[in-house]
Amino acid sequence: MSTIETKLSIQGMTCGHCARAVKNALEAVSGVASASVDLESGIACVTHDQSAKVPDFVEAVTEEGYGAVQSA
């Protein structure tokens, strides 16, 4: 199965703990292989298979108390 990379713009992160919380939430989504979060740019990169969808990522981040939208 091929992997896909999706970028998300994350709102509300203010510290390293925030970035780790978002990373952990994204990596807990079924189908996600890995996630990286850049606090400074507010961008999360999610590597996943076709079973994982953007709404799943947004829901996971929202449940942690942050905002997320797909970015180009």
Beta bridge partners of 44: 8, 37
The tokens describing 35, both together, are 């996630």
pLDDT the model gives residue 1: 59
Q: H/E element holding 21?
A: helix 16-27
pLDDT the model gives residue 2: 85
The tokens describing 68, both together, are 């997320």
Pick from 24, 32, 29, 26: nearest CA to 4: 32
Q: Check which CATH number belongs to the domain holding 29 and give it.
A: 3.30.70.100
pTM for this entry? 0.95
Pick from 53, 44, 47: nearest CA to 34: 47
Our count of domains for the chain comes to 1
- pLDDT tens for each residue of 13-51: 999 999 999 999 999 999 999 999 999 999 999 999 999
CA distance 47 to 35: 6
Residue-number span of the structural domain to which 23 is assigned: 4-71
